[in-house]
Chains A and B, each alone.
Chain A
Amino acid sequence: MHVIVGRKQLAPDVVQTEVEAPLVARKRKAGQFVMIRISEEGERIPLTIADSDPVRGTITLIVQAVGKSTKQLNQLQPGDTLVDVVGPLGKPTHIEPNANVVCIGGGIGAAVVYPILKAYKDSSSHVTSIIGARTKDLLILEQEIRARSEQTIVTTDDGSYGMHGFVTDALKKLMNNGKPIDLVIAIGPVPMMRAVCRVTQEAKIKTIVSLNPIMVDGTGMCGGCRVMVGGKMQFVCVDGPEFEGHEVDFDELTARLKSYVEFEKEAQARYENICGVHCGLES
């Protein structure tokens, strides 16, 4: 059992949860994830580790409620427990020291890119961050990211805050008037990562993306998370989660993410039916 020791609402659907997982906290490096299970009937879901505190023996997860399990997770309060937290899984981010790196986080992707930009910052790289959201209320970790980046650009799709536009618009601006960029790290929804890759491909800038396909075990055993990268089959859980974005078959990834849409709808409807009123679901 893993006790939840902290909870903070970051945006209407986004909750930051701090949970006891001493083994994971001790080992975890930027870019790695855990598989969690909320209850005995629960599914195993992969979640990126946003931060950790080896002394307290805790890890921080930042989760957007999109399906049944993530909604359920975001309802949990300090003192509640998760039946399993296993990790850290996946390969840690490969950090190139002294690089001029642009870290892009779209939506909840800001939570995934945050530990990576921190690691880059710690390796004396020059970090420029771009974080984007549909609208101002959905922006997360702005202060934390600003504090660890030389420059931070915020974009909103609706112009309610920061630059009006997409993260790719901000990136293009940087590319046009800034210093040469060694590396772009782009993490967020698949369409965003793909759009960033299109922009950087033309300019031949190395671009790393972090993928979040459907997983079951998270240890290479099931192959459910397979993606084609450079024409080769890769298992995201053991070969990733980070890959060279220009090599990733995003079409296939997008399609495979929809494998269980009908099931997800059913599970969610059932969950809201059982618990909706009592739990006071947000959104």
Chain B
Amino acid sequence: MKISVASIAAWSRESRAVRHGFESKILLSSVKNMAKKIGAKTKTPMMCQDPQVRAHNFNEVALGYREEEAVFEANRCIECKNMPCIAGCPVEIDIPSFVKAIAERRFEDATRILKSRNSLPAICGRVCPQEEQCELKCTLGARFEPVAIGRLERFVADWARAHMAEEIPTKRPSNGKKVAVVGSGPAGLTLAGDLVQLGYQVTIFEALHKAGGVLVYGIPEFRLPKNIVQQEIDYLIKMGVELKTSVVIGKSLTLTELMTELGFDAVFIGTGAGLPSFMKIPGINLIGVYSANEYLTRSNLMKAYRFPEYDTPVIRGRNVAVVGGGNTAMDSIRTALRLGAENAYLVYRRSRAEMPARKEEVEHAEEEGVQFHMLTNPVEILGNEKVRVRSMRVQKMELGDPDESGRRKPIPIPGSEFELNVDTVVMAVGQGANPVLTSTAPDLKTNKWGNIVADPETGATNIPGVFAGGDIVSGGATVILAMGAGRKAARAIDQYLRELNLNATPQPQEAEESTVPN
């Protein structure tokens, strides 16, 4: 592909014009041609709130593509034959088709293609790590920036929300089978959506008072507006899913009771990874040291950022350190800024290249003024006379040989300790498996970390009729992987219950092919 300097200049001029709203048909058609012809090297930028402004509010940071930007970006797709992007997607969305539909302004078609595979596109378009999945595989990405598939997904989902009447897909008639879903996070919501459509009677049990799991307690408003999550949940309820909040399976009801007294034919456990890890260092229990779960739950679910209008408080640190390098760490440190932190430090023991966080979140954090302390690890948190955090002693690290995770292992550099002046510390260093359900289900097989042992392809556990998926099986992972697990388990539960039915009743059943919507 030959690109002249002049044509790049022309493209960037034009695309700037598009971005600034000078949208005329003539201009756009030339932009479109240009995009195809020269293969714009970089992704069409997405408008965001100004970093200086957004660092002080909880409104959504990224504003999404407008139509012309989406069409322009979709036209960057070179329509390659082997379509590697599809294999990069855990739920195998037909990416080339929906991108093409956008390029041709068939937004309703794009919506249908997307939604046939992904029941939560507005969420995934915002929180999926596309750069490690579909976009990583994009053919265009070999030479230039890949097609911005994530931004296009978000565009389609938002366009549909604004322009299309909600379509309640036709459900199969009730088959009389009851399925219980434990946990209303991404795995449970996906599974519930799939099974209700097939005619199952689905009940979701949620321990907290609000459905959505990590989508509501963990991921902040500025990254995933809660009305989007609520809309997806309302949609499931309209489809006939029953939702019971404030019911803790393992406490209010046990797994056995679900299967016996309450007569559920199958149970799916998608309770997530709900047990925060704390570093074993002095000072970890000082006032002002939070787990990321607590910090985010207070701020997001309990709306502590609106205290005293809402009752739940959260310490509004002036100088805040978040320890960790994942999305949860990014969410926490950016929350700290919005709660008024003057200095927001991200302390991570490896280097930037090893950070598991989504690239866009790291960039956004940096733009907002987060100060990165890479290759740095806490050794002690120091307190004042009121047992409150006054500083954190850290040491520099260097990278040694790769460890079990394949990442290079951080090794402390002797004599490199220094103090960070902080009053709040948030630990975002991973999570264990929550014991509440498993401790009252002794027959359910777990591994040595307490995660439920389940077949990766079906989610089947050692107990017939009990399936599991998402973080409670895999340990802390991503929204989309949990959704993938929910989808697979939905298929497996459907198959399991059909087979059970066949064995139970000698009459031949109507032959139907696999069932979970693809």
Most buried by A among B251, B253, B278: B251
| A216-B294, A221-B434, A260-B313 known; A27-B252 Cβ under 8 A | yes
| A216-B298, A238-B436, A255-B287 known; A221-B274 Cβ under 8 A | yes
**Which residues from A are CB-within-8-Å of B291?**
222-224
Least Cβ–Cβ distance between A112 and chain B, in angstroms: 19
Residue A259 is within 8 A (CB to CB) of chain B in the complex: yes
| Cross-chain contact B313 with A220 (CB below 8 angstroms) | no
**Which residues from B are CB-within-8-Å of A84?**
209, 245-246
| Cross-chain contact A226 with B248 (CB below 8 angstroms) | no
Near A by CB (< 8 A), chain B positions 266-291 give: 274-276, 278, 284-285, 287, 290-291
| Cross-chain contact A87 with B293 (CB below 8 angstroms) | no
Least Cβ–Cβ distance between B315 and chain A, in angstroms: 7
B254, closest chain A residue (CB): A27
Near B by CB (< 8 A), chain A positions 75-130 give: 83-89
Q: Which of these binds chain A: B232-240, B304-312, B461-469?
A: B304-312
| Cross-chain contact B311 with A88 (CB below 8 angstroms) | no
Residue A204 is within 8 A (CB to CB) of chain B in the complex: no
**Which residues from B are CB-within-8-Å of A50?**
none
| Cross-chain contact B209 with A221 (CB below 8 angstroms) | no
Residue A41 is within 8 A (CB to CB) of chain B in the complex: yes
A247-260: contact bitstring with B at CB < 8 Å (1 yes, 0 no)? 00000100110111
Count of B residues near A, CB < 8 Å? 39
CB < 8 Å: which of A86, A89, A222, A228 contacts B209? Answer: A86
B208, closest chain A residue (CB): A217
| A37-B209, A222-B276 known; A216-B302 Cβ under 8 A | yes
**Which residues from B are CB-within-8-Å of A88?**
251-252
Count of A residues near B, CB < 8 Å? 42
Least Cβ–Cβ distance between A85 and chain B, in angstroms: 7
Least Cβ–Cβ distance between A104 and chain B, in angstroms: 27
Residue A5 is within 8 A (CB to CB) of chain B in the complex: no
| Cross-chain contact B436 with A216 (CB below 8 angstroms) | no
| Cross-chain contact A221 with B248 (CB below 8 angstroms) | no
A72, closest chain B residue (CB): B311
Least Cβ–Cβ distance between A94 and chain B, in angstroms: 15
B293, closest chain A residue (CB): A222
Residue B335 is within 8 A (CB to CB) of chain A in the complex: no
Residue A194 is within 8 A (CB to CB) of chain B in the complex: no
Cα–Cα, bound, A255→B386 (Å): 8
CB < 8 Å: which of A43, A86, A217, A258 contacts B311? Answer: A43
Near A by CB (< 8 A), chain B positions 97-131 give: none
Residue B147 is within 8 A (CB to CB) of chain A in the complex: no
| Cross-chain contact B435 with A238 (CB below 8 angstroms) | yes
B202-219: contact bitstring with A at CB < 8 Å (1 yes, 0 no)? 000001110000000100
Residue B8 is within 8 A (CB to CB) of chain A in the complex: no
Q: Which of these binds chain B: A143-151, A165-173, A263-271?
A: A263-271
| Cross-chain contact A86 with B207 (CB below 8 angstroms) | yes
Residue B387 is within 8 A (CB to CB) of chain A in the complex: yes
Residue B247 is within 8 A (CB to CB) of chain A in the complex: yes
Cα–Cα, bound, A252→B285 (Å): 8
Residue A246 is within 8 A (CB to CB) of chain B in the complex: no
**Which residues from B are CB-within-8-Å of A42?**
310-311
**Which residues from B are CB-within-8-Å of A260?**
313, 315
Residue B297 is within 8 A (CB to CB) of chain A in the complex: yes
Residue A68 is within 8 A (CB to CB) of chain B in the complex: yes
Least Cβ–Cβ distance between B67 and chain A, in angstroms: 37
| A27-B252, A43-B302 known; A267-B308 Cβ under 8 A | yes
| Cross-chain contact B251 with A89 (CB below 8 angstroms) | yes
| Cross-chain contact A219 with B311 (CB below 8 angstroms) | no
**Which residues from A are CB-within-8-Å of B251?**
27, 87-89, 219
Most buried by B among A37, A216, A256: A216
Cα–Cα, bound, A221→B434 (Å): 7
| Cross-chain contact B297 with A89 (CB below 8 angstroms) | no
| Cross-chain contact B252 with A86 (CB below 8 angstroms) | yes
- Show 25 A/B contacts (Cβ-Cβ < 8 Å), sorted by A: A23-B253, A27-B251, A37-B209, A41-B303, A42-B311, A43-B302, A43-B311, A83-B209, A86-B207, A86-B209, A86-B247, A87-B251, A89-B248, A216-B294, A216-B297, A216-B302, A220-B274, A221-B434, A222-B291, A223-B291, A227-B285, A228-B285, A233-B278, A259-B287, A267-B313
A contact residues vs B (CB 8 Å cutoff): 23-24, 27, 37, 41-44, 68-69, 83-89, 216-217, 219-224, 226-228, 233, 235, 238, 252, 255-256, 258-260, 263-264, 266-267, 270
B contact residues vs A (CB 8 Å cutoff): 207-209, 217, 245-248, 251-253, 274-276, 278, 284-285, 287, 290-291, 293-294, 297-298, 302-303, 307-313, 315, 386-387, 434-436
Known: A83-B209, A89-B248, A223-B294. 16 other contacts (CB 8 A): A27-B251, A27-B253, A37-B209, A43-B311, A68-B311, A84-B209, A220-B434, A220-B436, A221-B274, A222-B293, A223-B291, A223-B293, A255-B287, A256-B287, A267-B307, A267-B308
- In order of increasing CB-CB distance, the 4 nearest A-B pairs are A263-B313, A222-B294, A255-B387, A43-B311
